[in-house]
Amino acid sequence: MNVALPKDIENIIERFIAQGRYNNPSEVVGAGLRALEAQEQTKPSLVLPPGSLAHLYTDEENAFERKTVKASSKRADPE
């Protein structure tokens, strides 16, 4: 699985690794998702209409994300 992240999020991941808190980006993302899952279990999730967060990304970032999604759906290694 490939995921495109904004530069500020990449910087956070790199900082956690540099501090020795995690060994690699996968550990950071896994910890974040586990924390999000725990949060979702304790309070109801916020439901937003489709497209309501589009303003958070620039057109360039959205174009990059679309390219990354297309690329990540093509597997280079046979399973």
Cβ within 8 Å of residue 17, ≥6 positions away: 23, 24, 25, 28
pLDDT tens series, the chain, 79 aa: 788 889 999 999 999 999 999 999 999 999 999 998 888 888 776 777 887 777 777 778 777 777 776 666 555 555 5
Domain boundaries, the chain: 7-72
One-letter amino acid for residue 61 of the chain: E
Task: Please name which of 60, 77, 78 lies closest in space to residue 4, comparing C-alpha atoms.
Answer: 60
Token pair of 56, please?
């958070």
Task: Please name which of 46, 4, 60 lies closest in space to residue 29, comparing C-alpha atoms.
Answer: 4
